[in-house]
Amino acid sequence: MTFELSVDEFDRRDWQRTDPDAGTVRIAMVGLGWWTVEEAMPAVADSTFCETTVVVSSRAEKAEAVAATADTVTHALTYDDLIAGEATDAYDALYVATPNSLHLPYVEAAAEYGKDVLCEKPMEASVERAAEIAGIDAETDSTVMVAYRMQTDPAVRRARELVADGHIGEPVQVHGHMSQPLLEMIPDPDQWRLNPEYTGYGATVMDLGIYPLNTARFVLDADPVSVTARLESTHEAFADVPDEHASFAVTFDDGTEASCSASQNAQRTSYLRVLGTEGEVVLEPAFFSDQTRAMTVRRGDNRVEVEVPPVEQMTEEFDYFGDRVLAGDSPHPDAAHGLVDLETIAAIHEAGDTGDRVRVGDAAE
Amino acid sequence: MTFELSVDEFDRRDWQRTDPDAGTVRIAMVGLGWWTVEEAMPAVADSTFCETTVVVSSRAEKAEAVAATADTVTHALTYDDLIAGEATDAYDALYVATPNSLHLPYVEAAAEYGKDVLCEKPMEASVERAAEIAGIDAETDSTVMVAYRMQTDPAVRRARELVADGHIGEPVQVHGHMSQPLLEMIPDPDQWRLNPEYTGYGATVMDLGIYPLNTARFVLDADPVSVTARLESTHEAFADVPDEHASFAVTFDDGTEASCSASQNAQRTSYLRVLGTEGEVVLEPAFFSDQTRAMTVRRGDNRVEVEVPPVEQMTEEFDYFGDRVLAGDSPHPDAAHGLVDLETIAAIHEAGDTGDRVRVGDAAE
């Protein structure tokens, strides 16, 4: 079996089906927080298959201020305007980046007006509401893709190929982690990520733990069966959520076990390791979009390391979404895939409460 | 707070109390498997405070053959000779490196003849038998040290100092792992490590999982409270033990959670990471004695990496043991410390059976 990693492979778009001249999908940006303004809109401006034509916020003034920063934007709407059906001729799809518990109403509006959706992860604040989105995806003409940017990240896709091609033998164990000092990044104890009304089950598994969880699913091409977990909050800013720090173990349907952790109050760190019977692949840093990334592959005593500059993960993701919409194909990950993560996160929170193992799908609502 | 790592620090013997001319502790090597012959005896030959004067095996011929390879050895005994009290004037202490379930009889013999003991880990094959060794350590003049070689490894000691000095803030989460392809190393499905009669609870947590478990205890200076686990055996050579692959999470009494894994049928890999509120320390490779080691410390965006050549871990361990015996001080880790690991491993195996969280000390015998 050959064992080589080509640096050239790390910006390959193995997913592209559409001609670069095929046009663009016109995006309405829903929710104008820092992520949308500083990450998503610049990424779309750099993309081939998408452009931002509409911006939507709670207040008209905010929407208009953001609209003024981008030449392509023709309409600035409030959430109420969007739901009432204003400017439906000006966009083809919604990018939903509101707080978790405010995804469903805009997915419902998209379905009503025959628009597609790129919906931020986690898909909603609860299994029940995520299931409603999955129903819309399955039963209407609107297609819902969940914005797992790691699934269109070239390094992660190369890791998945290595595992699928048997370069590490049979996968055995995964370690994954993501942490950041949230209160240094956003020094406000009243932010929505710390408010269960907006975030859902908690602050950390929903926002960060979902990265090692979902990336392990993608790299292994396997789904979670059961979980154990320990959640802890001690800092007063985390008084309303159980998971300032979270550790959880996920048993997958291929027999692999993933030992994961995440924290909103720790050193900024991320990694993903997949150990197999004959080798291992390590991504570190793994999940932060602004960092130079490294992939290390070992087989016995042989070791190859490739370091790659940051890619515009959000540009990759929007272009993939645009490519599939223009091609008339369903993008992946779909809402049914996103629902499994919500069921897993609900199980992790129940396991954290009870201390015991919880089967995915069995957590109480 | 200063943030620097000096390479010179990595061979410092911060524990030494005895003058290099203080003499030696005469060791009887009990159990002459490959570890004793290829690792322990050469390490003692290189040591300052120990020398091998007696070798003990099941068969006289084997003992004599090994004795002939070392000038310092004056007596070759069988196990029965040792227990009967032969040559007690020729040694001061036993190094017990027999299969796990054969540690207790030689610790009992040491107590009977007033000898000290350096006992390999895990201390015995069950909590019950380990408790008997702890009783001997506590109640007789014989002192028992458990041979956790990582606790006298300079890199691990520097990691412990960094954590104790607050360089990573408050410890939050640990990831630890150790794996090797046992059947490639020893191509014999009938070896004792795969036989519960000799190994005790299983093949992997007892032999490899104990490294991340005990090293996390040492670096955090904390003790385990409860565990969750998943154990799996699929390869036919592991039919009699539950843990070809093992994943376990350990909650410590300082609130830290350690996500650990180990495998006797996977790529040879080891690492230990301690994440804190303000930084992290990573040892990788962590546990194999023949590898060039690296310690990486991060605080925010600052990163220091020190690479150190392999140290003779067994020489460090024997010299520490000899130092303490010659000084008349009790060496650490003692048998009470080793007993906690057996209680934790028993809990891990019960958690693997039941799927649920088990408190350390609560596992059924």
Q: What is the pLDDT of residues B132-152, one digit of tens each?
A: 999 999 999 999 999 999 999
Q: B228, B238, B348: which to substitute to probe chain A, counting the most A Cβ within 10 Å?
A: B228
**Distance in angstroms (rounded) separating the CA atoms of residues B354 and B347:** 10
| B48 in Cβ contact with B319 (< 8 Å) | yes
Looking at residue B3, its pLDDT comes to 55
Q: Which has the closest alpha carbon to A120: A351, A314, A363, A353?
A: A314
Chain B hits for A255, CB-CB cut-off 8 Å, are 232, 234
Tell me if B230 and A249 make a contact (CB, 8 A cut-off). yes
Tell me if A172 and B245 make a contact (CB, 8 A cut-off). yes
Residues 6+ apart with CB under 8 A from A159: A219, A272, A274, A281, A283, A295
Residues 6+ apart with CB under 8 A from B86: B75, B77
State which residue of chain B sits closest to A262, comparing Cα positions: B173
Chain B residues whose C-beta is within 8 A of a chain A C-beta are 168-169, 172-173, 175, 177, 179, 181, 226, 228, 230, 232, 234, 245, 247, 249, 251, 255, 257, 259-261, 263, 265-269, 275-280, 298-300, 355-357
DSSP-derived secondary structure letter, A136:
H
Q: A244, A261, A268: which to substitute to probe chain B, counting the most B Cβ within 10 Å?
A: A261
Give the closest-approach CA distance of A254 to chain B in angstroms: 12
Per the model's pLDDT, the better-predicted residue between B293 and A51 turns out to be A51
At CA B243, angle to CA B346 and CA A212, rounded to 5? 100
Looking at residue B363, its pLDDT comes to 78
| A226 in Cβ contact with A346 (< 8 Å) | no
Choose among B260, B266, B276: nearest Cβ to A172.
Answer: B266
Tell me if A230 and B245 make a contact (CB, 8 A cut-off). no
Tell me if A279 and B299 make a contact (CB, 8 A cut-off). no
Tell me if B230 and A257 make a contact (CB, 8 A cut-off). yes
Looking at residue A343, its pLDDT comes to 98
Amino acid in the structure at residue A11: D
Give the closest-approach CA distance of A294 to chain B in angstroms: 15
State which residue of chain A sits closest to B274, comparing Cα positions: A267
Q: Which has the closest alpha carbon to A262: A248, A252, A241?
A: A248
Looking at residue A352, its pLDDT comes to 97
DSSP run (H or E) holding B119: strand B116-119
* List of chain A residues with pLDDT < 70: 1-8, 365
Amino acid in the structure at residue B7: V
Q: B277, B354, B359, B362: which to substitute to probe chain A, counting the most A Cβ within 10 Å?
A: B277
pTM of the model: 0.95
Chain A hits for B224, CB-CB cut-off 8 Å, are none
Give the closest-approach CA distance of B234 to chain A in angstroms: 10
Looking at residue B292, its pLDDT comes to 87
Q: Quote the percentage of chain B above a pLDDT of 70.
A: 97
**Distance in angstroms (rounded) separating the CA atoms of residues B205 and B247:** 9
Tell me if B267 and A300 make a contact (CB, 8 A cut-off). yes
Q: Quote the percentage of chain B above a pLDDT of 90.
A: 91
Q: Measured between alpha carbons, how far is residue A243 from residues A98, A215, A328 in Å? A: 21, 20, 40
Q: What is the pLDDT of residues B48-73, one digit of tens each?
A: 999 999 999 999 999 999 999 999 99
Residue B137's CB: how many other CB atoms inside 10 A? Answer: 26
B167 pLDDT higher than 80: yes
Banded pLDDT at B362 (limits 50, 70, 90): confident
Chain B hits for A247, CB-CB cut-off 8 Å, are 173, 249, 257, 259
Q: Cα torsion at B51, B54, B56, B62 (round to 10°)?
A: 100
Tell me if A226 and B355 make a contact (CB, 8 A cut-off). yes
DSSP run (H or E) holding B128: helix B127-139
**Distance in angstroms (rounded) separating the CA atoms of residues A198 and B147:** 52
Banded pLDDT at B203 (limits 50, 70, 90): very high
Give the closest-approach CA distance of B176 to chain A in angstroms: 9
Reported for A305-311, long-range contacts at CB under 8 A and 24+ positions apart, including other chains, are A306/A5, A306/A7, A306/A10, A308/A7, A308/A10, A308/A11, A308/A154, A308/A155, A311/A10, A311/A11, A311/A153, A311/A154, A311/A155
DSSP-derived secondary structure letter, B149:
G
Mean pLDDT (chain B, rounded): 95
Q: A357, A358, A360, A362: which to substitute to probe chain B, counting the most B Cβ within 10 Å?
A: A357
Looking at residue B12, its pLDDT comes to 80
| A28 in Cβ contact with A54 (< 8 Å) | yes
**Distance in angstroms (rounded) separating the CA atoms of residues B123 and B114:** 19
- Per-residue tokens: B183: 């059947």
DSSP characters over B30-43? E--SHIIIIIIHHH
Choose among B173, B278, B357: nearest Cβ to A355.
Answer: B357
Chain A residues whose C-beta is within 8 A of a chain B C-beta are 168-169, 172-173, 175, 177, 179, 181, 226, 228, 230, 232, 234, 245, 247, 249, 251, 255, 257, 259-261, 263, 265-269, 275-280, 298-300, 355-357
Lowest mean pLDDT among A273-287, A312-326, B90-104, B305-319: B305-319
Q: Count A/B contacts: CB-CB distance under 8 Å.
A: 129
DSSP run (H or E) holding A259: strand A257-263
Query: What is the biggest distance separating any 2 CA atoms in chain B, rounded to whole angstroms?
Result: 62
B242 pLDDT higher than 90: yes
Q: Measured between alpha carbons, how far is residue B96 from residues B104, B117, B121, B139, B203 in Å? A: 9, 7, 9, 19, 19
For residue A211, the SS3 value is helix
Looking at residue A5, its pLDDT comes to 67
State which residue of chain B sits closest to A352, comparing Cα positions: B357
Looking at residue A365, its pLDDT comes to 61
State which residue of chain B sits closest to A234, comparing Cα positions: B255
